[in-house]
């Protein structure tokens, strides 16, 4: 699958969100040219350990298959080269500090005036408009601002961030989707457009159910740690040798769960007969289930619950995940050609086939001469 073969992307990004957008387009066949600052390049190169071939695994993960160029955007020669590239580029992606692209003459309005077929994608922390449009931000900052901290964690504990960069990754994927939609529209109209996305907008979309419920009721549902505040039984339980997540939220699944744990009468019990009633009596129900699950090991519970058709899973570590037969069967991981780095492939199949990774992340400025880019001036001491 090389659906975007022939599409050229010029990517001015650092850190995660913009890089994910470019990497997604590249995985589908686009030729992505990543522009980095001379000297240190993308900040992400230094976000480790672990490091492989002089760059962090984070950088390798988000920049595989791209070509790399170093440019000092304050140099007229560099801007002249960018303009020459824009003549044959289809997409520009940027997530630099707000205002940077305007300062160097590469802002959306000016560039689109000169290159009307270009799809210009701009990624920010707080959005392209509004009083905070120029406010910088990282994952934790936006998670806190947008309310994501407040819904994550144990009800009795402190709010916490999600354990991976969900907003960065989600924003990159949304921007890539918006870019492809804009390219489809261009095929009809002949005109590009400006696509904007931000971490805070991604957060608001992800939290849309909770925000709608709060808006309607005036109250926020309590944090539920490993489950859902509005569904019962759906949470994590300790077992004799680990932890297990059980998801028996509807009445049919709850009846099956009740039978598995030796309490079939619960299905007809007025306290538990409906989801609404189970929520009302959730604390007592959970406290009754906890010692039952602690009485047997995880594998035994998995076998019993799966045998009855109750959705469940062990709480795996990342090492456990890599050893799971299902994960191995999905063939999601592969060694990048020539890079000796094993990374996750794109999580899509087309007619049963997953697109192959075409190469690793570029060394800093690796393709500058190949692409005719000007050499950056030596760094001053």
CA–CA gap between residue 223 and residue 159 (Å, rounded): 8
Please check whether residue 195 is in contact with residue 175, taking contact to mean a CB–CB distance below 8 angstroms. yes
- Is 342 in a helix, a strand, or coil? strand
Is 241 catalytic? The answer is no
- Is 92 in a helix, a strand, or coil? strand
By the 10 Å C-beta count (0-12 exposed, 13-18 middle, 19+ buried), 106 is classed as: buried
What count of other Cβ atoms lies within 10 Å of the Cβ of residue 61?
Answer: 17
| Buried residues in 262-282 as b, exposed as e (16+ CB within 10 A) | eeeebbeeeebeebeebeeeb
Q: Which residue among the candidates 72, 168, 251, 351 is catalytic per the annotation?
A: 168
Question: What would the two tokens of residue 373 be?
Answer: 């880019």
CA–CA gap between residue 68 and residue 49 (Å, rounded): 22
Active-site positions read: 168
């Amino acid at each position: 699958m090389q659906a975007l073969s022939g599409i050229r992307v010029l990517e001015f990004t650092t850190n995660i969100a913009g890089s994910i957008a470019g990497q997604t387009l590249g995985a589908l066949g686009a030729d992505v040219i990543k522009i980095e600052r001379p000297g240190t390049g993308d900040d992400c190169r230094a976000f480790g350990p672990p490091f492989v071939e002089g760059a962090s695994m984070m950088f390798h993960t988000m920049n595989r298959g791209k070509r790399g160029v170093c440019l000092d955007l304050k140099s007229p020669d560099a801007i002249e080269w960018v303009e020459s590239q824009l003549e044959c580029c289809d997409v520009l992606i940027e997530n630099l500090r707000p205002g940077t692209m305007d300062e160097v003459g590469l802002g959306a309005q000016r560039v689109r005036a000169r290159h009307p077929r270009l799809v210009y994608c701009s990624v920010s922390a707080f959005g392209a408009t509004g009083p905070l449009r120029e406010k910088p931000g990282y994952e934790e900052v936006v998670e806190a601002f947008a309310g994501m901290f407040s819904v994550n964690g144990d009800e009795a504990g402190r709010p916490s961030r999600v354990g991976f960069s969900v907003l960065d990754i989600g924003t990159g994927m949304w921007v890539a989707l918006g870019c492809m939609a804009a390219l489809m529209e261009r095929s009809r109209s002949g005109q590009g457009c400006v696509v904007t996305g931000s971490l805070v907008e991604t957060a608001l979309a992800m939290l849309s159910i909770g925000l709608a419920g709060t808006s309607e009721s005036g109250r926020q549902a309590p944090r539920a740690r490993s489950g859902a505040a509005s569904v019962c039984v759906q949470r994590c339980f300790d077992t004799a040798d680990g932890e297990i997540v059980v998801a028996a939220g509807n009445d049919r699944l709850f009846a099956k769960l009740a039978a598995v744990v030796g309490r079939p009468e619960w299905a007809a019990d007025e306290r538990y007969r409906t989801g609404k009633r189970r929520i009302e009596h959730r604390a007592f129900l959970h406290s009754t289930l906890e010692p039952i699950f602690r009485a047997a090991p995880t594998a035994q519970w998995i076998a019993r619950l799966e045998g009855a058709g109750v959705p469940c899973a062990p709480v795996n570590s990342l090492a456990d995940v890599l050893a799971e037969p299902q994960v191995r069967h999905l063939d999601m991981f592969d060694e990048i050609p020539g890079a000796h780095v094993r990374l996750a492939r794109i999580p899509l199949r087309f007619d049963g086939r997953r697109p192959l990774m075409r190469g690793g992340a570029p060394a800093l400025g690796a393709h500058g001469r190949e692409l005719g880019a000007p050499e950056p001036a030596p760094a001053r001491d």
